[in-house]
Structure 1
Amino acid sequence: MGALKKLFKHTFIYGLATVLPRLLSLVLTRLYTDKLPTDDYGIYASLFVYLISGNVLLSYGMETAFFRFMNKSERKSEVQSTALTSIFITSGLFLIVSYLFKDNIASFLEFELEFILYGILILFFDALCVIPFAWLRNQEMPLKYSFIKIATVVVNLGLNLFFFLVLPLLVDNNSSSVFNALVFENKVHYIFISNVLASLFGLLLILPLYIRIRLRFDFYLWKKMIRYAFPVLIAGVAFSINEGFDKLMLKYLLPENIAEETVGVYAACYKLGAFMSLFVTAFKLGVEPFFFSNANKKNSKEIYADTTLYFTIFGAFIFLFVVVYIDIFKTILISNSAYWEALWIVPFILLANLCIGIYHNLSVWYKITDRTRFGAYISVFGALVTLVLNFVLIPIITYKGSAIATLIAYGSMMLLSFYFGQKHHPIPYNLKKIGSYLGVSILFVFLSFYVFDRNLIIGTVFVLVFLTLIYKLENRELKKMMKSISAKKFK
């Protein structure tokens, strides 16, 4: 239980770095959906899918390789400097090559040239931060990590508020204003300009770590790290397909006159699933170095089993809570009712994110046993499911097909990871409890959302019943954990 206390402590702090920025991001969702028509919001959502894939390609699994080799190698300084140098060189090459071919990229992807340039700069700045952020996590410095992450997003928020709310006031009825040069007819420009400047700000904050870690390169060590990282890269590419290609396929498979608008309403309601992804991301940030640092302990398997159980408990509660109070959240986060058309997808997206969170917990077996190729196999399978089901379902039921495909893809990845994990590195998961919590939450969500049509009173009863179930089954262990956590101050 001591190891779990440390994990949840770090998860809480990483959660601040994840939850607070994402909450600010949800504020921006309200801003964007208020100020942008649905088709322009679709342009923004589509381009960000490419940025997700670009981030994966430019980090190419080196972050995970960094954690693995930092915890198993005695040459820690060479590991961190080699990883940093590798990312630094490849990021520079990306910047040069992509700028030279910027017109071709814009033509192929069917975006304005300016949007492609914004994307290139965002990807370049973010890639340079990958290893420094990993170094902070490995050194168990969550407070510094959180400060930089939060500061970056605050800058992003401030710039968006300036462009969307303040700038129009500065140029209104004043043709000679110096701010006129910042005015764009298509307001999507403001989103990407804010992201470029925020990413640059984050890089400047973390730049001193380049001096501390140093740019040095050990080619022999790098080859071993790349061999470990390559399957992680494949898995990451496949994951980016699962995460965002539904929006691209909606754009390219639907008739042109409704494609961007459909992507816009789908992407906006997809954001309501962010409550689960916040929890999953925060947990993943804390759990990845935690898994590696506990790999050699005698009770490591029991620790991993307990971690997955408690993750499932909290995740199942979040799933139920958000669905029950979705009508409150939608009015707060998406006031423009034109976007509410796709609200049907929210339970599917929340459950899909919960499945992928459980998958991240289950994936410990192939990471600590250096069988990362299984992560690639599973993720590629999930990507194929995503592509095939979207291709089949979108022409029939449009965005509903995308939501169903996402859930099936993530659910199948979760089940495959469990199956192969129990064959190669069995862990004594409490399947009875995990299945019970998942089953009850899914049942309550189905009844609340689809049978009782989101009746708030009935949904609240379901929430209270679920909390009572948690209290009855986990009261003793949760009390021990919370008492131990509160007895210690965060470093």
Structure 2
Amino acid sequence: MSGFKSLFKQTFIYGLATVLPRMLSFILVPLYTDPSVLSVEEYGRVSFIFAYFVLFNVVLAYGMETAFFRFFNKEASQEKVTSTSAISLVLSSFALLAIAFLFRDQISTLINIDLKYLNLVFIILLLDALVIIPFAWLRATARPMRYAIIKIFNVAVNLGLNIFLLLYLKDLAQGSSFFSSFYIQDYQINYIFISNLIASGLTLALLLPFYARITFKFDTDLWKKMMKYAMPVLIAGIAYSVNETFDRILLESLLPPEVADENIGMYSACYKLALFMTLFATAFRLGIEPYFFSHSNTNNPQKNYAKILEYFVALGSVILLTVVVFADVLKPFIIRSEAYYEAMWIVPFILLANLCLGIYHNLSVWYKITDRTKFGAYISILGAVITLVLNYVLIPIIGFKGSAIATLSAYSIMMLLSFYFGKQYYPVPYNLKKIGLYLTISISFSFLFFYRYREQYILGITMIIVFLGLVILLEKKELKQLLKR
């Protein structure tokens, strides 16, 4: 139980590093959806560009972060692992971005992003790539507070600059020659990326002491082993980015041009209501990933892995039902214009999809600690194929509803496949009856309420109380042990 205490302590701090900054940045959604700041089409264009951010970030990281964690706990010299992985990412990032700038005109035409935005995107990507290993090192050496503070600082700066540049700069420019020199008419989308760029630059500045600390010795043999481990992770990451963001890209290409950006804007805004599940799953993953690796050689780690998944499903199921019940209460605070509400239909599907993704990440322990990362690539590729096929089939028929269905289908199948192969290669004694009970009741209550009894809050709150009472009853023994310690 002491291991769980350490896990939950780190998960809580990493949760702060993820939840608090993103809750601050949550303010950006009502800011961006304010009609006086951005139109629905402009917000759609911003969301479309950020969709490519996910793909480009995966390519620039090429699985080296996961490889770093694996070899940091496996190799005798942690210093050598840190130095080799850092040098690899620095050199590759500058090389890839140099190539990108060289062919930026062709890239701009290919992905349909204006060059004025693309130049900013390239610089942000470089800055973000340079902090991957420093942040991973903070996690691997159990320095969650420093990790959290820097992450929160990054988003706070980004948030503050967005608010200043989008809300106040125009008025200040009218009464001051100093501010007027910074203000450009109809420059809102550029200001969003400039805010991101400055925040990323300051974050790198805070992490520069990491680069002064390492020895800068590159071990070629170690790098080859790390790359062999990382390549399937890269493939899986690319497939993941397809699952996560290509719905926006395909909406842009498959819908008529005159409505594409508007539909992307509506879809992206309502997608944000699933942020609560994403935050929970991300914070949990950040806490458990180092735990999985560091405890893989302990006595019977499978028992602890099974209990961790049970806790995750219980908490995630509560979040799913709660957010679905109060989605219509939350939406005016997050999405400022009713022009976006047409896409509210997708909310339960996206919430459940992210819960399935979180379960998949928990299940993925088997192929990470047995060095069978190729299975992660296979499963993610299949998920990407499902995403692409269903989007191509469904978007022309039912628009963004098809994207939501495709996302849920891909993540649920990935979850089931990971469980199936995990049973064969690294059996973990998951309590399937209890996990199945949590999921069945939570999903049934959520979909029944949203699509049949929506906004009948007495019924919805009763459903939450009944389900929460069930979880507390079934987890009573474990809760008492955790609270005692």
Bin for the TM-score computed over the shorter chain: over 0.9
User: What's the secondary structure of 1:72's corresponding residue?
Assistant: coil
| Contact in 2 for aligned 1:59/1:127 (Cα 8 Å) | yes
2:101, 2:336 → 1: CA distance?
Answer: 38
Task: Give the Å deviation of 1:453.
Answer: 2.0
Specify the alignment match of 1:340 in structure 2.
341
- TM-score w.r.t. the length of structure 2 is 0.98
SS at match of 1:137: helix
- After superposition, the C-alpha distances for 1:37-62 in whole angstroms (9 at most, x for unaligned) are 11100110011111101110111000
What is aligned with 2:26?
26
Question: In the aligned structure 1, how far is the partner of 2:450 from the partner of 2:67?
Answer: 42
Partners of 1:63 and 1:275 lie apart in 2 by 25
Quote the offset at 1:454 in angstroms: 2.9
- Alignment equivalent of 2:72, drawn from 44, 58, 70: 70
Aligned counterpart for 2:55 among listed residues 38, 53, 56: 53
Could you tell me how far apart the structure 2 residues matched to 1:204 and 1:398 are?
43
- Write the distance in 2 (CA, Å) between the matches of 1:431 and 1:295: 22
CA RMSD between the two structures: 1.1
Q: Distance in 2 between matches of 1:327 and 1:148?
A: 34
Residue 308 (structure 1) aligns with:
309
1:297 maps to: 298
Residue 152 of structure 1 corresponds to 154
Q: Distance in 2 between matches of 1:403 and 1:332?
A: 22
Amino acid at match of 1:26: F
Pair 182,104 (structure 1): closer, same or farther in 2 beyond 3 Å? farther
Query: In the alignment, is the contact (CA less than 8 A) between 2:138 and 2:144 conserved in 1?
Result: yes
Match of 2:163 among 155, 161, 164: 161
Shift of 1:31: 0.4
Answer with 300-309 or 213-222: which moved more.
Answer: 213-222
Which residue of structure 1 lines up, in the alignment, with residue 416 of structure 2? 415
- Give the aligned partner of residue 487 of structure 1: none
Deviations 1:363-408 (A, max 9, x none): 0000000000000000000000000000000000000000000000
Is it true that 1:400 corresponds to 2:404 in the alignment?
Answer: no
Moved more, 67-76 or 135-144: 67-76
Q: Which residue in the other structure is 2:4 paired with?
A: 4
Percent identity between matched residues is 54
Letter in 2 for 1:16: L
Once residues 430 and 176 of structure 2 are traced to their aligned partners in structure 1, the CA distance between those partners, rounded to angstroms, is 67
Matched length = 483
User: Aligned partners of 1:234, 1:13: CA distance in 2, in Å?
Assistant: 30
Instruction: State the one-letter code of the partner of 2:158.
Output: N
| Secondary structure class of the residue paired with 2:73 | helix
The question of whether the paired residues in 1 share the 8 Å contact of 2:170 and 2:183 is answered with no
Match of residue 128 from structure 1:
130
Take 2:451 and 2:58, find their aligned partners in 1: how far apart are those partners?
36
CA deviation digits over 1:388-429, x for unaligned, max 9? Answer: 000000000000000000000000000000000001111000
In terms of mean alpha carbon deviation, does 207-216 or 312-321 score higher?
207-216
Q: CA deviation at 1:99?
A: 1.5
Alpha-carbon distance, 1:114 to partner: 1.4
Look up the match of 1:182: 183
Task: Write out aligned runs for 1:105-120 (5 A).
Answer: 105-120=107-122
Tell me if the contact between 1:231 and 1:376 (Cα under 8 Å) persists in the aligned partners.
yes
Give matches, 1:45-444, under 5 Å. Answer: 45-172=47-174, 174=175, 176=177, 178-444=179-445
Contact 1:94/1:124, CA 8 A, preserved across alignment: no
- Greater mean alpha carbon deviation, residues 250-259 or residues 208-217: 208-217
1:483 CA displacement: 3.0
Unmatched runs of 5 consecutive residues or more in structure 2: none
Look up the SS of the partner of 1:73 in the other structure: coil
SS of structure 2 residue aligned to 1:335: coil
Question: Which residue matches 1:13?
Answer: 13
Residues 312 and 434, structure 1, Cα contact 8 Å, conserved in 2 = yes
Q: Once the 2 structures are TM-superposed, how far is the Cα of residue 107 of structure 1 from its aligned partner?
A: 1.9
Secondary structure of residue in 2 paired with 1:370: coil
Q: 1:184 to 1:483 in 2, by over 3 A?
A: farther
Q: CA deviation at 1:96?
A: 1.4
**In structure 2, distance between residues paired with 1:11 and 1:181:** 41
User: CA deviation digits over 1:213-245, x for unaligned, max 9?
Assistant: 232211111000000000000000000000000
**CA–CA distance in structure 2, aligned partners of residues 471 and 185 of structure 1:** 53
Residue 446 (structure 2) aligns with = 445
- Residue 457 (structure 1) aligns with: 458
What does the per-residue CA deviation read over 1:130-181, in whole Å, with 9 as the maximum and x for residues that have no partner? 0000000000100000000000110001100101111021123x58554244
**Counterpart residue number, 1:467:** 468
Pick closer, same or farther for the CA change 1:275–1:230 going to 2, 3 Å: same
Native 8 Å contact 2:387 2:406 kept in 1: yes
Alignment match, 1:488: none
1:479 Cα offset (Å): 2.1
Q: Deviations over 1:173-225 (max 9, x none)?
A: x5855424432414111111100111111111111101112322111110000
Q: TM-score, normalised by structure 1?
A: 0.97
